[in-house]
Amino acid sequence: MFSRAYRAAITVPPVLWVTIFLVGSYALLFCYSFWTVSSGQTIVHSWTLDNYRELLRVDVYLQTLFRSMGIAARVMIFSLLLGYPLAYYLSFHAGNRKDLLYQLVIIPLWVSYLVRAYAWKTILGSDGVLNTLLQYLHLTKHPLEFLLYSPFAVVLTLTHIYTPFAFLPIYASLEHIPRNLVEASHDLGASPFQTFWRVIFPLSIPGVLAGATFAFVLSLGDFLAPLLLGGPSGIMISNIVVSLFGAAYNWPLGAAISFCMLGLVVGLLFLSERLEKKWSFR
């Protein structure tokens, strides 16, 4: 139905833009990861595997990567634990308050990420809201120091930020479940729990996978929450990249780490897409 000119007009501009700015820049990231920096602080455009060797040689890179993955995994699990029952409650039992409650989950997304991280900082600090509240109630005598500048603070903040992200796809997949399946299951004698476990949960797995991927991938690459709330023990892999691009001035090494992250993320996305396909029956 659409002429060749029409199809060219809608295809060429976005493809060009994406090729220049996305393919171009990711390709450049790849190239940089094989270049080096001279002692005179200029980029040397000669090809070498030194950066990748460095990553394997110095323990701190892999350690930090594993710590970041640990933090991201915890954020993912907590977001799902908070998000799934909430999505289930909204989709199946919230009745006519469903739309309102849905909006209430979305609204925090409209508050700046940075501002919410900052708010947690004002809550968790040693003279922050929580500590002064505990002392006011005479529950503690001294401020609890572990609250801020710790992996705990990072996980808490990132969970706060990514719970709505985990919630959304789960909610969407639950909403797509035809309600007569639930009725059919009851009709065939399944208890509410059996119905949930044998019908609803399996059909919501694509949403769970999408939500889990979002939470894991986005928190893996986060560098602002660790900088604000993490302290030395909460440093994540992206913080190393940021310092390599800043004060440490070693772009190629930073590019190598980033490229590894890119590979990891693309691999995860691929895996999650495969699994989602396997679990979607439409």
Partner 1 sequence: MSACHRDFRASGWLPWHAVAVFAFLYLPIVTLIVYSFNGQGVGGFPPRNLTLDWYRMLFADDAIWQSVLNSLLVAVAAVTIALAFGIPAALALDRANFPGKAVFRRLVLLPLILPGIITGLSLLMLFREADVKLSLVTIILGHGTALISVATTEVFAGLQKLDRAQEEASLDLGANYWQTFWRVTIPNLRLSIIGAALLIFTLSMDEIAVSFFLIGRDNTLPLEIWGRLRRGITPEINAISSIIFVFSLVVIVIWYRLRVREGQPEIAAELGP
Near partner 1 in 75-94, by CB under 8 A: 82-83, 85-86, 88-90, 92-93
User: What whole-number distance in Å separates Cα of residue 250 and Cα of residue 153?
Assistant: 29
Binders of partner 1 among residues 234 to 253 (CB under 8 A) are 238, 241-242, 245, 251
Task: Please tell me what DSSP assigns to residue 20.
Answer: I
CB-nearer residue toward partner 1: 58 or 81: 81
Binders of partner 1 among residues 6 to 65 (CB under 8 A) are 6-7, 9-11, 13-15, 17-18, 21-26, 28-29, 32
Least CB distance to partner 1 at residue 252 (A): 10
Cα dist. 27→32, 55, 64, 139, 162 in Å? 9, 20, 25, 56, 29
E runs forming strands in 164-250? none
Least CB distance to partner 1 at residue 77 (A): 15
Contact 229, 193 (CB under 8 A): no
CB-nearer residue toward partner 1: 50 or 126: 126
Cα dist. 263→217, 269, 271 in Å? 12, 10, 12
Of the residues 129, 181, 184, 271, which one makes contact with partner 1 according to CB under 8 A: 129
Mark the segment that binds partner 1 (CB under 8 A) among 2-10, 50-58, 59-67. 2-10
User: What whole-number distance in Å separates Cα of residue 236 and Cα of residue 226?
Assistant: 7
Angle formed by the axes of helices 59-93 and 237-245, nearest 10°: 120
User: What whole-number distance in Å separates Cα of residue 277 and Cα of residue 280?
Assistant: 5
Least CB distance to partner 1 at residue 172 (A): 3
Of the residues 37, 144, 182, 248, which one makes contact with partner 1 according to CB under 8 A: 182
Mark the segment that binds partner 1 (CB under 8 A) among 46-54, 56-64, 180-188. 180-188
- Decide: is 152 part of the binding site for partner 1 (CB under 8 A): no
User: What whole-number distance in Å separates Cα of residue 223 and Cα of residue 235?
Assistant: 8
CB-nearer residue toward partner 1: 150 or 157: 157
Least CB distance to partner 1 at residue 110 (A): 4
Binders of partner 1 among residues 199 to 218 (CB under 8 A) are 206-207, 209-210, 213-214, 217-218
Of the residues 34, 152, 162, 165, which one makes contact with partner 1 according to CB under 8 A: 165
Q: What helix, strand, coil percent values describe the chain, rounded to 5?
A: 80, 0, 20
Give the DSSP H or E segment for 100.
Answer: helix 98-106
- Tokens standing for residue 85: 């029952």
CB-nearer residue toward partner 1: 83 or 151: 83
